Structure 1
């Protein structure tokens, strides 16, 4: 699946992000940077070879650094630049209301 068809299938918009995520996949437990985020998925920037179509568990701060979001999902695609994840359940706090994306924290804000 290419990136443009992935975008067309999204139920909710994504926005640029810079958030460190800890995730568990069959290849191991890692930390990498979320580059975009939405209520139903993310893109993680990494040079690691993460296999698509596998389950993934993630934890990362979204609204406050001290409160981690823990989600499960599936790696939907993978490339040399990173991988996309579709969450099993949307993150309710990231659902856009009236066209406005909620405020999220960024690692660069620390």
Structure 2
């Protein structure tokens, strides 16, 4: 089932290291922004459009890893966007507020 237009899901700025697997290999780069319907990974790697991607990253707690899949829907010199195969539970925007998510800059203080 295809997710509606990604703009229907609000995004927020993020700084989370994600492990992802695409046909070009398995890599680690930083999630730049995220929403219930997808995310953007900042990287200089070239990733082809339309391909499947499997992702793993902490979101609400560093010791609890989210595993989700999707498709690459956009790419540019700064990275690529992924649309999830299904919305990411728990990242729904309630009353215009996002739930608290982790950021790599906070890792040392936890």
Q: Tell me if both proteins adopt one fold, taking TM over 0.5 as the criterion.
A: yes
Question: Is it true that 1:35 corresponds to 2:32 in the alignment?
Answer: yes
Q: Structure 1: which 5+ runs fail to align?
A: 1-7
Q: Which runs of 4+ in 1 moved over 6 A?
A: none
| CA distance in 1: counterparts of 2:67 and 2:91, whole angstroms | 14
Ranges in structure 2 where 5+ consecutive residues have no aligned partner: none
* TM-score, length basis structure 1: 0.91
Q: CA deviation at 1:12?
A: 1.0
Report the number of matched residues.
103
The partner residue of 1:99 within 96, 99, 105 is 96
Cα distance between partner residues in 2 of 1:77 and 1:12: 16
For normalisation by structure 2, the TM-score amounts to: 0.91
Whether 1:50 aligns to 2:74 is no
Q: CA deviation at 1:105?
A: 0.3
